[in-house]
Structure 1
Amino acid sequence: MRFGIFVPQGWRMDLHGIAPADQWQVMRDLAVRVDERPAWESLWVYDHFHTTPEPTEDPTHEAWTLMAAFAAVTSRVRLGQMCTCMSYRNPAYLAKVAATVDVVSGGRIEMGIGAGWYEHEWRAYGYGFPRAGERLAMLREGVEIFRQAWTTGSATLDGEHYQVDGALVHPRPLQGTSVPGSEANGIPMWIAGGGEKKTLRIAAEYADYTNFAGDLEGFTHKSQVLAGHCRDIGRDVDSIVRSSNFNTIVGRDEAEVEERLKWLHDHLIKTGHTEDKADQAVESMRRQPAVGTPEQIVEQMGALRSAGLGYAIHYFAETAWDTSGVELFETEVIPALAG
């Protein structure tokens, strides 16, 4: 199993209380820390413009700007977004942005891509909010443009949603060209989402990685659906690395786990949650596979590994203030699962 970690960027109110002028330093320092810890293969951000669960005036830093900034201050760790919303940027333009950041980073970019879901954000930025079928059709056309652009240096598509005619993407990404051992398809594509008829079909056709449900039952079922689509098109499902995201709380013992859950509850109250919603969020966390002592997490995630989970991306809500949980995870959990 391989491991990635989210860096707080504000979308989940995880920079709340830190002055905007100081937030980049917090993110930069955490990125540098991850870069120096080989336990983590990758660092990640979300592609959102407004905070969740409610839009607020708390800062939410833009994902691809952060990709370029992280590329300049790190040297080893891979850089991804889970996941970029296809419809927020013209895909030919986005292919160019990603190729440029791949060059800046020395060939370390991961392209997480999905159809998008945050309706308030869509409408606020003037994108409308097309029905799910249209958003998925845009995703399919967009990933075709990516693949052409990164493998040939140009893209042409007369699609229903996107029309490009010889859009040039030079320089091409370093991945697939001048980085030894890199993907022939250019920047690795992570197709995010578990829609069984369309999203997982697109993943079977284009994905180097998938990203869907992290509970054992859901993950197992989605994996079976993905395998069916791969059989239909003659692709080996094991050529696709399956990943999931995890909200993570780890403590040396159950008392420390409770302390961290109490911190989360108090933080949610500070960011505007009602007492009831904070209680519900904490109770939901208790049932998640990456919450518990190191031994409990290893057992729960070991079952997912046995079911085919190859890559786990972890979100620690407290990292802007406290990295002790991350350190415990690095020393006690990752070594037990990485082999």
Structure 2
Amino acid sequence: MSELPYATYPVRIGVQIQPQYCSYAEIRRAAAMYEELGVDVLMNWDHFFPVYGPADGAHYECWTMLGAWAEATSKVTIGPLVTCNSYRNPDLLADMARTVDHISGGRLFLGIGAGWNERDYHEYGYEFGTAASRLASLGEGLRRIERRWQRLDPPPTRKIPILVGGNGEQKTLRLAAMHADIWHGFGDAAVLAHKHRVLDEWCAKVGRDPGAIERSTRVFRRGPDEVGEGLLEAGTRFFTLVAQSPRFDPAPVRDWLDFRDDMNKARLVDTASSR
């Protein structure tokens, strides 16, 4: 396996339950099923309308759902992939995250990004601005969130992990180097390996250990036999599948969980043999 500094993380498997075109009862059952299967992380997304398929249809809000998941689950880590910084006052978002963190017993991560879905902005009355202005707001929002966590009573149960999502090399990866515990990127192994190097360079510039940032990506419908080895070599250790209605299929999740268990077992053997 790779000797990259962030390759020391164990392999983790997440499932993003996309909250569109189904009932909440179906979502709740899917969350229970995936937790029972043994996934490490359950995620939703932060939009107000379906992202693909028919433009209008059943859809549910991100943070209300995460509060419900905090009570309905007991082991799995939960969080948004990703919440939009622009949709809520950052101090309020910090308080919301802190509250869900307490409800869940310390199982929340905060996935956050600059936002991109123009319809969400216009229909809910937010200023869409430009990519540059949204990224500037994300940088300020992250600083405000971190400050607010230090002032809340009670504080979060622990340092809430921050996931920064996005591939932009000049701004997003710089913000990830400054604030993220997890960086979530997009692309094949070659693209991600390049993005990891860029993130490492930003870490050096801001004085951050690149090994402190776990590397994450979405595998969508690709299986571990197809892409697992290449992504591991690139340094990725956190793999997220997409669960879509109307059929929340456990089969591809089981394949990735088997891959996780095999890779983590091999890692433990390698670690023990090197002592």
TM-score category by the smaller chain? 0.7 to 0.9
Q: Matches of residues 176-325 of structure 1 in structure 2 within 5 Å?
A: 186-248=159-221, 290-291=222-223, 297-317=224-244, 320-325=246-251
Q: Which amino acid aligns with 2:30?
A: L
TM-score (norm 1): 0.71
C-alpha deviations, 1:83-135, integer Å up to 9, x for none?
Answer: 00000000001111111111110011010000000112111111121111110
> In the alignment, which residue of structure 2 is the partner of 1:159?
none
> In the alignment, which residue of structure 2 is the partner of 1:58?
57
Q: Contact 1:213–1:222 at 8 Å: present in 2 too?
A: no
Q: Deviation of residue 330 (structure 1)? A: 5.1
Q: Contact 1:302–1:337 at 8 Å: present in 2 too?
A: no
Is residue 2:255 matched to residue 1:329? yes
> In the alignment, which residue of structure 1 is the partner of 2:5?
none
Runs of 4+ in 1 over 4 A off after TM superposition: none
Q: CA 1:113–1:322 in 2, change beyond 3 Å: closer, same or farther? A: closer
Q: Which amino acid aligns with 2:182?
A: Y
> In the alignment, which residue of structure 1 is the partner of 2:33?
33
Q: Contact 2:79–2:111 at 8 Å: present in 1 too?
A: yes
Q: Which amino acid aligns with 1:309?
A: T
What 5-or-longer segments of structure 2 have no aligned partner? Answer: 1-10, 266-275
Q: Contact 2:220–2:241 at 8 Å: present in 1 too?
A: yes
Once the two structures are overlaid, the 10-residue window that deviates more, 329-338 or 225-234, is 329-338
TM-score (norm 2): 0.87
> Larger relative contact order (C-alpha < 8 A, sep ≥ 6)?
2
**Larger Rg belongs to:** 1
Q: Matches of residues 38-49 of structure 1 in structure 2 within 5 Å?
A: 38=38, 40-49=39-48
Q: Contact 2:15–2:43 at 8 Å: present in 1 too?
A: yes
Is residue 2:2 matched to residue 1:3? no
State the identity as a percent: 34
Q: CA 1:308–1:62 in 2, change beyond 3 Å: closer, same or farther? A: same
Q: Contact 2:182–2:215 at 8 Å: present in 1 too?
A: yes
Distance 1:330 1:202 in 2: 30
Q: Deviation of residue 316 (structure 1)? A: 3.3
What 5-or-longer segments of structure 1 have no aligned partner? Answer: 16-22, 154-168, 176-185, 249-289, 292-296
Distance 2:202 2:257 in 1: 38
Q: Which amino acid aligns with 1:298?
A: D
Q: CA 1:337–1:198 in 2, change beyond 3 Å: closer, same or farther? A: same
Q: Deviation of residue 54 (structure 1)? A: 5.8
- Equivalenced residues, count: 255
Q: Contact 1:47–1:85 at 8 Å: present in 2 too?
A: yes
Distance 1:27 1:91 in 2: 27
Distance 2:85 2:54 in 1: 21
Q: CA 1:36–1:200 in 2, change beyond 3 Å: closer, same or farther? A: same
Distance 1:89 1:331 in 2: 35
CA RMSD of aligned residues (A): 1.8
Q: Deviation of residue 331 (structure 1)? A: 5.7
Q: Which amino acid aligns with 1:79?
A: I
Distance 2:216 2:250 in 1: 25
C-alpha deviations, 1:162-217, integer Å up to 9, x for none?
Answer: xxxxxxx3222112xxxxxxxxxx21000110111111001101100000123112
Distance 2:31 2:248 in 1: 14
